[in-house]
Structures are given as C-alpha cells and as structure tokens.
Amino acid sequence: MTKEEILAMEAGRKLDKLVHEDVMKQCWHDWVAEQSDSNVTGVICSKCRSKPIYAQGMVNYPLYSIDISAAWQVVEKMEELGWGFTLVTSDRVARCFPLSFNKPSSKWVIGKKIPEAICKAALIAKLNSR
C-alpha cells in the first residue's frame, strides 16, 4: 500500500484492520473450531490462538481509527518501536506528525479526528521505515 492510498482512507474497519495487522502485528485470524474433549466450545485463531471479539454479531478488532483509547494503544506500540507523535487539533481536523528517534519523517498526516490521524501516521511511519 502506498502513502497516497493510506491518506485517502477514511476511518473505519478497513483502516482498523490494516493497523491491526501492520502496526500492532496481530494476525487477522483464520478461525477454526476450538474443542474440549470431543465437544466444540467456540472458535479460536489457528495461528495466534486468540479468541474473537464479537461486536454487532461479527468478529471484530479494536476500532483504532475511531476510538481514542484504542488509538492510544497504537501510540504506545509505535513508541516501543522508537516513534513518537506530535498531535494538533484545529478547525475540525486533527494533524499528526510521526517523529522517529532514528529516521526523519515526512509531513503532517491529517484526519477528521485524532484516532484517524494517529492510525494513518503510524501506517506511513511503518511504510517509511521499511
């Protein structure tokens, strides 16, 4: 995915899934039946052994691009990887500038709200560090 494609994304499930896989390094699950003895007790990921989070009847993942508490997990993960963020809000937009301790960053990343800007900035920072 290119920087332009990331910037064009809107907050929502597609952006959240990308952050979940690329930034948080969680697998996007291959669900299989979980069994106890010979009884099926639910589903579990065949790769990471995690159980699904259900929301509105669907298997889901954190709403990183919408919920500030989930977005803050992205900030913490990026800090573990040597990145920090400068956040600014004004005129109904949020701007996020990824700061690396070992690589220069590019420009401000703009989102409608802070969580969206954080997610896009994190994905672009990861893209630039490859």
CA 129 to CA 115: how far, in whole Å?
21
How do residues 96-127 score in pLDDT, each as one tens digit?
766 665 554 556 787 888 899 899 988 988 88
Task: Tell if the pTM clears 0.75, that is, is over it.
Answer: no
Residue of 82, 74, 126, 124 lying closest to 101 (CA atoms): 82
CA 73 from centre of chain = 9
Q: Which CATH number fits domain 3-25+62-128: 3.40.50.300, 3.90.1310.10, 3.30.2120.10, 2.40.30.110?
A: 3.30.2120.10
How do residues 72-105 score in pLDDT, each as one tens digit?
999 888 888 888 777 777 766 677 766 665 554 5
Out of 13-22, 31-40, 74-83, which region has the weakest mean confidence (pLDDT)?
31-40
How do residues 2-13 score in pLDDT, each as one tens digit?
989 999 999 998
CA 100 to CA 103: how far, in whole Å?
5
Q: Are 117 and 87 spatial neighbours (Cβ–Cβ below 8 Å)?
A: yes
Domain ranges of the chain: 3-25+62-128, 27-60
